[in-house]
Amino acid sequence: MAIEGHVTEEGTRRYRDRMVGAGLAHAGHFREGPEGLALSSIGLGTYLGGHDAGTDALYLAAVKQAIAAGCNVIDSAINYRCQRSERMIGQALAESVRDGACRRDEVLVATKGGFIPYDGTPPRDTYAYLQQAFVMPGILQTTDVVADCHCMTPKYLRHQLNASLANLELSCLDLYYLHNPEMQLEEVSQEEFLTRMRAAFETLEEAVSQGRLRLYGTATWDGYRAKPGSGGHLSLEALVKLAEEVAGPDHHFKVVQLPYNLSMLEALGEQTQTLNGVKVSLLEAAKALGIYVISSASILQGRLSRNLPAEVRGVLGDGTDAQRSIQFVRSTPGLGTALVGMKQTDHVKDNLGVSKWAPLQPDRFAQLFK
C-alpha cells in the first residue's frame, strides 16, 4: 500500500529542529529549499552498485540510517540499478515511518525519468526488451527514442512517473527530474528540443495538478556545464521562461541537479549561463531565478575521498578527505544540497558526520581560490 502524503515545510522544519536539538546536526546543515522546505545539506544518492539482493540490502540499511542521522534528501532514478534503487528507497522509507524514525512529510524523495529502464536485471536482448516492454504496449514509438536509450514524450513520462510511484510505494512524489534532457540535442534542433521540453513541462504540471507530484526540475551531466553555443548546452533562463509560459509565475520547475566538486567547478567558476544578456555562472543564474541547486558527484564517485593537496586540506580543516570534499561542496555559496552516493552504513556514518560541522565562512571558502 502506498504511503500517503508528501514532503512539507512544516514536516521538514520539524525534522530539522529534532535533528539539531538532538545534536545530530548543526543548524547550518539545513537550507531553505523551494516552498520553504528545510533540506539537509547532504543528500543520499543511489546510483552505484550491482543489481542484486546483496546491494539491495546495503541500500536498505543505508537509507534508513541516513534518515535517522539527519539526511532528509534521498535521490534516485528509475534506471538506477534496473529500478532496484527506487524499490529499496520505498521499502526503507516505509520502514522508517513505521518504526517512528521519521514521518512522510519530513523527507524529500526525488527521482528521475528519461532513460529507458530495465526491470530488475539487464535483458539479454535490449532491442527485444524495448519492443516488448514499451513499443508493443503503446507506451512509446521507436522514433521517440534518442540515442537508443532516451525518451521524454508526454505518454512515456506519465508511464514512468506512475512506475516510479509504484516502486517508491508513494502516492505523491516530491521531486521529479527530467534526466539528462540535453541528450535530445544529439538528434534534434534547439527549436524542436524546446518544443519537447514544453510538452514535458506541461505533462509534469499536469501531474502536480493531479496531486501525484509536487516539484520538478532537470538533472543533467553536461547541459549546464557546457559552454553557450555548444551542442548540448542548456540555458536555465530559457527553461524557466518556458515553465512560466506553461504555468505562469507559480510554476513548479524549482530544482536543478548537476555535477559539482573539487575537480568539476564549472557551476561556480565558469560563465556558462546568460541572464538578461549578461554572462554568469550557473549558481548565479539559479539564485537570481529562484532555483534550488543540488550537486551530484560531490566526491566524484570516491575519487575525491583521498589524496587531496595539503593546501586544500589546510583550508577545509579536520576530518577525512571524503569529509573535506563534502564540506567544500556544501559550503559553496548558492549551492543547496550535496548528494553523496552511499550504500555502506560506515560511509553514511562518516559522511553525515559533516552535518555536525558549520559550513565554511565565505572568506575562508574564498581562500581555496587564491
Give residue limits of the domains in the chain.
9-369
Over residues 165-190, the mean pLDDT reads 97
Mean pLDDT of the chain: 97
What pLDDT does 289 receive? Answer: 98
What pLDDT does 370 receive? Answer: 82
In this structure, the number of other CB atoms found within 10 A of the CB of residue 235 comes to: 19
Q: What percent of the chain has pLDDT over 90?
A: 98
Best CA proximity match to 337, nearest among 34, 55, 84, 104? 34
Residue 164: pLDDT band by 50, 70, 90 thresholds? very high
Helix (H, G, I), strand (E, B) or coil at 162: helix
Residue 146: pLDDT band by 50, 70, 90 thresholds? very high
In contact, 29 and 72? CB cutoff 8 Å = no
Q: Compute the C-alpha angle 19/21/25, nearest 5°.
A: 45
Helix (H, G, I), strand (E, B) or coil at 336: coil
Helix (H, G, I), strand (E, B) or coil at 153: coil
Q: What percent of the chain has pLDDT over 70?
A: 100
Pairing of strands 292-296, 253-259: parallel
Decide which of 3.30.70.120, 1.10.3720.10, 3.100.10.20, 3.20.20.100 is the CATH code for 9-369. Answer: 3.20.20.100
pTM: 0.97
Q: What is the pLDDT of residues 63-97, one digit of tens each?
A: 999 999 999 999 999 999 999 999 999 999 999 99
Over residues 32-39, the mean pLDDT reads 98
In contact, 162 and 171? CB cutoff 8 Å = no
Which is it for the CA torsion 183, 188, 190, 195, positive or negative?
negative
Q: What is the pLDDT of residues 41-61, one digit of tens each?
A: 999 999 999 999 999 999 999
The secondary element (H helix, E strand) that includes residue 267 is helix 266-269
- The alpha-carbon radius of gyration of the chain (Å, integer) is 20
Q: Which residues contact 200 (CB under 8 A, 6 or more apart)?
A: 152, 154, 157, 178, 181
Instruction: Judge whether residue 1 has pLDDT over 90.
Output: no
- Alpha-carbon span 97 to 95, nearest angstrom: 5
Helix (H, G, I), strand (E, B) or coil at 28: helix
- Alpha-carbon span 209 to 205, nearest angstrom: 6
